[in-house]
């Protein structure tokens, strides 16, 4: 397929492969890995990334919603897939038909799955989530034994896993995660050792900060794409002797569509949020908030042009944004611009863009829009 847009996201699947193998070296060979590819693999493309993950030995794939799991199945992937966001009872038919597993924390959903699995003459796999403090999905620890017994008595259902989710593993304060971990351990005491399902709770931050939380399977997400959930994780990674650096998988690039001179004292873009303080050379880029470049980054971010940083100026528009290139020599229409990534030895990271936009790297990556073509290499 031909890509006509100058604005593009370049996806390095070899970097993704490196990141998976790097993580694999950090954990026990007996610990399984669920590669989280939800939200279109955090904007990187679920199918290409899932295929590489399975090639590298991923034991499980994590999807966010049932449509994501169905897409992976219809593309030929037969690895186990867990719908991390759970489903509604009326989605049971599709879940069973496509051999997907789902998070369960209520009896009505389990009953709907059992009924549908019996109808299709199949066995449906479920992972029971325990709410240890996220207060989102999950059964309360004290109600876990009853739910386990109820589900065990349903036909055509297999309790494949028991899990929880940490609310604050990305944060510098560790006590909240430690408290959740203790609650989870206590809840697991009701499980029978001779019929114990997969136990999993470690996301990216937890699997590095709390190795005791690895249990039977870990659920890496953002780290597979070479970004960090929070700055606090960087110091932890540096201390790991057997780890090489994780590599960013995505670079977001565009090209200059126009360069023109603007006199001193001229307002720039909508609402005149920036006024030139000197005679300036302004470059227009064909990328805007419809492509996922947050408007909140207006007048805050830099880009790379000819290996040098240039500030973004004025309000980011739906389809365009403006850059001050006054300090960069010989800038021309057609020059490559890096929004995040590398150019001539200089780097702008997703983490930097997230900090300047007052958000997190997850949101920056996930919001790179569908109309931005992904170029795989």
List the CATH number of the domain containing 140. 3.20.20.10
**CA nearest neighbour of 162 among 133, 195, 126, 132:** 126
**CA nearest neighbour of 342 among 256, 248, 257:** 248
Q: Does residue 218 share a domain with residue 258?
A: no
Yes or no: say if 86 and 109 are a contact pair by the CB < 8 Å rule.
yes
pLDDT band for 230, please (50, 70, 90 cuts): confident
Residue 155: Cβ within 10 Å count: 9
Residues 226, 349: Cα–Cα separation, whole Å? 10
Asked if pLDDT for residue 155 goes beyond 70, the answer is yes
pTM attached to this predicted model: 0.95
Residue 337: Cβ within 10 Å count: 25
Asked if pLDDT for residue 1 goes beyond 70, the answer is no
Average pLDDT, the chain: 96
* Predicted pLDDT of residue 186: 96
Q: Does residue 285 share a domain with residue 211?
A: no
Instruction: Give 71-76's long-range contacts (Cβ < 8 A, gap of 24+).
Output: 71/46, 71/47, 72/37, 72/46, 72/47, 73/98, 73/99, 73/100, 74/98, 75/47
**What is the helix (H) or strand (E) element at residue 268, kind and residue range?**
strand 267-268
* Predicted pLDDT of residue 172: 86
Residues 20, 52: Cα–Cα separation, whole Å? 9
79 is a domain residue = yes
Q: Does residue 98 share a domain with residue 128?
A: yes
Q: Does residue 96 share a domain with residue 61?
A: yes
* pLDDT, tens only, 115-142: 999 999 999 999 999 999 999 999 999 9
119 is a domain residue = yes
Q: Does residue 173 share a domain with residue 78?
A: yes
Asked if pLDDT for residue 3 goes beyond 70, the answer is no
Burial 284-295 (b: 16+ CB within 10 A, else e): bbbbbbebbbbe
Q: Does residue 191 share a domain with residue 272?
A: no
Residues 37, 225: Cα–Cα separation, whole Å? 10
**CA nearest neighbour of 224 among 4, 16, 368:** 16
Residues 175, 209: Cα–Cα separation, whole Å? 12
328: CB partners within 8 A, 6+ apart: 305, 306, 308, 310
374 is a domain residue = no
* Predicted pLDDT of residue 4: 77
375 is a domain residue = no
Q: How many domains does the chain have?
A: 2
Q: Which domain holds residue 257?
A: 250-359
* pLDDT, tens only, 233-269: 888 888 887 788 999 999 999 999 999 999 999 999 9
3 is a domain residue = no
- Greater confidence (218 vs 170) lies with 218
Q: Kindly list the distances between the CA atom of residue 313 and the CA atoms of 78, 160, 267, 297, 300, in Å, as whole numbers in the listed order.
A: 48, 52, 10, 10, 8
pLDDT above 90 as % of the chain: 93
Q: Does residue 114 share a domain with residue 209?
A: yes
376 is a domain residue = no
Residues 167, 203: Cα–Cα separation, whole Å? 10
161 is a domain residue = yes
**CA nearest neighbour of 202 among 33, 20, 21:** 33
* pLDDT, tens only, 79-98: 999 999 999 999 999 999 99
Q: Does residue 166 share a domain with residue 263?
A: no
* Predicted pLDDT of residue 235: 84
Average pLDDT over residues 91-113: 98
Show which of 181, 200, 230 is a domain's final residue: 230
Q: Does residue 276 share a domain with residue 145?
A: no
Q: Does residue 297 share a domain with residue 175?
A: no
269 is a domain residue = yes
* pLDDT, tens only, 267-316: 999 999 999 999 999 999 999 999 999 999 999 999 999 999 999 999 99
* pLDDT, tens only, 174-223: 999 999 999 999 999 999 877 899 999 999 999 999 999 999 999 999 99
153: CB partners within 8 A, 6+ apart: none
Catalytic residues: 38, 270
Which CATH number characterizes residue 340's domain? 2.40.37.10
Strand partners, 341: 348
Asked if pLDDT for residue 109 goes beyond 90, the answer is yes
Q: Does residue 320 share a domain with residue 220?
A: no
* DSSP state at residue 129: E
Strand partners, 63: 83
DSSP alpha helices (H): ranges in 98-198?
107-119, 144-152, 175-188
For 350, how many CA atoms within 13 A lie in the half-sphere containing its CB?
A: 27
**CA nearest neighbour of 312 among 294, 328, 300:** 300
Q: Does residue 278 share a domain with residue 158?
A: no
């Amino acid at each position: 397929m031909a890509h006509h847009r100058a604005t593009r996201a370049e996806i390095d699947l070899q970097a993704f492969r490196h990141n998976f193998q790097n993580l694999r070296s950090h954990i026990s060979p007996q610990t399984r890995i669920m590669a989280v590819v939800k939200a279109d693999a955090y904007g990187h493309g679920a199918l290409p990334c899932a295929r590489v993950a399975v090639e590298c030995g991923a034991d499980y794939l994590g999807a966010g919603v049932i449509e994501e799991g169905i897409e992976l199945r219809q593309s030929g992937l037969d690895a186990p897939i867990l719908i991390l966001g759970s489903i509604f009872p009326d989605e049971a038919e599709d879940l069973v038909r496509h051999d997907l597993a789902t998070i369960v924390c209520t009896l009505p959903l389990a009953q709907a799955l059992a009924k549908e699995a019996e109808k299709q003459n199949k066995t449906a796999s479920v992972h029971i989530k325990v709410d240890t403090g996220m207060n989102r999905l999950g059964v309360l620890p004290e109600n876990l034994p009853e739910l386990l017994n109820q589900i065990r008595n349903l036909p055509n259902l297999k309790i494949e896993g028991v899990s929880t989710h940490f609310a604050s593993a990305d944060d510098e304060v560790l006590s909240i995660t430690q408290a959740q971990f203790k609650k989870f351990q206590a809840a697991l005491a009701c499980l029978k050792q001779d019929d114990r399902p997969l136990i999993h709770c470690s996301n990216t931050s937890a699997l590095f900060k709390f190795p005791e939380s690895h249990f039977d399977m870990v659920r890496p997400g953002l780290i597979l794409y070479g970004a960090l959930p929070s700055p606090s994780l960087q110091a932890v990674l540096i201390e790991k002797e057997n780890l090489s650096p994780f590599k960013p998988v995505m670079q977001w690039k565009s090209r200059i569509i126009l360069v023109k001179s603007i006199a001193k004292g001229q307002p720039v873009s909508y609402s005149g949020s920036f006024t030139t303080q000197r005679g300036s050379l302004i470059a227009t880029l064909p990328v805007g908030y419809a492509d996922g470049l947050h408007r909140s980054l207006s007048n805050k971010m830099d880009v790379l042009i000819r290996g040098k940083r240039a500030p973004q100026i004025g309000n980011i528009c739906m389809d365009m944004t403006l850059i001050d290139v006054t300090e960069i020599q010989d800038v021309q229409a057609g020059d490559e611009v890096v929004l995040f990534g590398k150019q001539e030895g200089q780097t702008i990271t997703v983490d930097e863009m997230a900090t300047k936009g007052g958000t997190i790297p997850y949101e920056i990556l996930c919001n790179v829009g569908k109309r931005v073509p992904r170029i795989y290499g």
